[in-house]
Structure 1
Amino acid sequence: MKIRHHHIFLLFLSSFLSINLYAQSNTSKGYTIKGEEVIFIFNVNDYPNIKNNGDTIDDVFVSGEFNDWAKDQWPMAKINDSIYKLKKDLSLFTSDFGWEFKFIVNSEHWAEPTSDFENSTDAKDDYGFPLMVYNLKFYSAFATEYGNVSFKLKGHKDAKKVILSGTFNRWDETGFVMKPTEDGWRVTLQLRPDIYQYKFIVDGNWIEDPQNPSKAENEYDGYNSVIDVQKNVKFQLCDFEDAETVILSAEFNNWTETDATMTKEDGCWVYSQRLSGGKYHYKFIVDGHWITDPTNTVKEYDDKGNINSVCMVK
C-alpha cells in the first residue's frame, strides 16, 4: 500500500534533538538532524498499533516519498528492544521540500503514529483521496539557536504572534514562530546555501523585512524580501609548486583571467570564495595554461564545447 499526501509542507525540527537545539515542541517524532546527517528514529512505544498487536519485531524499515514508498529498501539498525535507527546523508534531501514517511515493521505492518504528533499529516492515496491513516513529515530546514541565519524584526512589541514564512518552508504560516526580544522579534534557522524569499506574518498581516532592501516582485503585485545564503568554498590545486601564477577562473567571477589570483599554502595553491547554492563551472589558469581540476572527477561541457570542472554547492 502506497501512502501519500497531496500537499507537502516544511516546518522545523522537534525538541528531541540530542544536542540541545531550539525547537518547536517535544511532540514531533521520527527523526533528528546532526550536522550533515538525518537520523530516523523508531520507538515502538510511540506506535500503539504495533506495540499492542503482540507480534515479534524482526526488522523495521523507513518508507517514504524519498524512496518511492519501498517497503524493504531502507533497513534500520536495532539499538535495543524499543529503539531502531537509520542514518542518511542530508544531501539526499533538498531544502525546498518536506518529505512524508512511515516506518514499516517486518516489511508488512505500517506503524501508525497518533494524530497529536506535531509532524503528523493526513495521508491520501495516489488519486488524492483521504485515507484513515497518518504519515510523518520530515523537514530539512529547521529552527535552532545554533543556526547560520538569524531573522530579526524590529518593533511590533504589541504583537501577539510573529511568524517567519518563505520559500525555505514553502510559505508555511505556522512553523517558524519568532521569539520576542528587547527591540522586536527573532528566530534563527539552519539553511543550506541558496537564494530565498521570505516575509513576516505579524498577527496575520504579511509584511516585508523593513531592514532588508533586497526585494523581489511576487504574484500578488507586491514584494517579498530576499536573502542570499552563501557558503565559503575553498578551491585548491596541488603539485604545481614551480608555477609563478595560478588564477581561479569560473562562472561566478565571469571567467576572469587576472583577478582571482590563488596563493600558496602548504605547497598548494588555494583560493576561497563565498557562493550561493548551485552548480558552477571552473578551471585553473597555470602560467597562462587552462586546466581542469585534476582532483575533481566531475566535469561537463559548456555551450561552446569546452570541458570544465564542476563545483556543487549545497
Structure 2
Amino acid sequence: MKYISTGKIIITVLLIFSITGCVGNLIKNRLRPPHEIDVSKYSGIIDDTAQTSSAGKNMHYIIFQYENKAAHYMNLAGNFNGWCGTKEYDRFDPSAGIMRDDNKDGIWEIVLPLPSGRYQYKFVIDQGASWVEDPNNPLKDFENGIENSLLIISD
C-alpha cells in the first residue's frame, strides 16, 4: 500500500483552489466597467434618450454592459434618465434605458451619449424585479443613503 504525505495533499488542494479561484475571477471580470467607445466602429443601437443638459458640450459615447443569462429584460437606470422615471413619476418606466442582448449570449448592453460629469447608475433586472450595482465597476457613490455605481467622465 502506498501512502501520500499530508504535505502533498495540502499543496495539491491549495493548487486546485488557487487555479479555480483565478479562473473564476477571469470569468467574473470579463466585462469592463462603463467606458468610452469609438461610435464609428460600433454597430449596435445608441440610446439618445438620456436627460442631460448637453448643449454645447462634448459628448462621450459610453457603453454599459451587464451579464445575466436568466434575465428577460434589462434596463439601465441612473441620474441621467431620472432613474427610469422613478424620480419624476414615482414608478418604473420599462421604456427607459432599455438594454439589448441581440446575440443572446447573456451580455446586455446599451450605449449612451453623455457629456462630462458624475453619473450614478444601477442595472434593473426584469422590469424592476431587482436593481443591482455594476459588479465590474468598483466606484460607488451614495444618493439618499442608497449605494449606486459611479461613472466619472472627464474631457
Give the TM interval when normalised to the shorter protein: 0.5 to 0.7
Matched, 1:234 2:73: no
2:71 matched to which residue of 1? 243
Q: Tell me the residue number matched to 2:81.
A: 253
**Structure 1 residue 283 corresponds to structure 2 residue 111:** no
Q: What corresponds to 2:135 in structure 1?
A: 294
Residue 101 (structure 2) pairs with residue 264 (structure 1): yes
1:295 match: secondary structure:
coil
| CA-CA distance at 1:267 after TM superposition | 3.0
Q: 1:292 is aligned with what amino acid?
A: E
Deviations 1:54-82 (A, max 9, x none): xxxxxxxxxxxxxxxxxxxxxxxxxxxxx
Alignment of 1:121-200 (within 5 A): none
Unaligned runs of 5+ in 2: 1-52, 85-91
Which structure carries more relative contact order (alpha carbon 8 Å, separation 6+)? 2
Q: Residues of 1 paired with 2:62 and 2:139: CA distance?
A: 16
TM-score, length-scaled by structure 1? 0.27
CA distance in 2 between partners of 1:235 and 1:281 (Å) = 12
Deviation at 1:283, TM superposition (A): 0.3
User: Is 1:311 aligned with 2:154?
Assistant: no
Stretches of 4+ moved more than 3 A in 1?
none
Contact 2:139/2:149 (<8 A) preserved? yes
2-side partners of 1:282 and 1:267: how far apart? 20
SS in 2 for 1:264: coil
- TM-align CA RMSD: 1.8
Partner amino acid, structure 2, of 1:263: R
Give, as a single letter, the amino acid of the residue that structure 2 aligns with 1:300: D
Distance 2:75 2:135 in 1: 15
Which has a greater percent of strand? 1
User: Once the 2 structures are TM-superposed, how far is the Cα of residue 300 of structure 1 from its aligned partner?
Assistant: 1.1
* Alpha carbons 2:60, 2:115 under 8 Å: kept: yes
Separation in structure 1 between the aligned mates of residue 113 and residue 76 of structure 2, nearest angstrom = 13
Relative to the length of structure 2, the TM-score reads 0.54
Distance 1:229 1:312 in 2: 14
Task: Report the identity percentage.
Answer: 29
Looking at structure 2, the residues matched to 244 and 298 of structure 1 have their Cα atoms a distance apart, in angstroms, of 27
Rounded Cα–Cα distance in structure 2 between residues aligned with 1:248 and 1:267: 15
Q: Match of 1:245, as an amino acid?
A: Y
Q: Secondary structure at the match of 2:80?
A: helix
Which ranges of structure 1 fall in alignment gaps of 5 or more residues?
Answer: 1-194, 197-225
Q: 1 or 2, which has the higher helix percentage?
A: 2
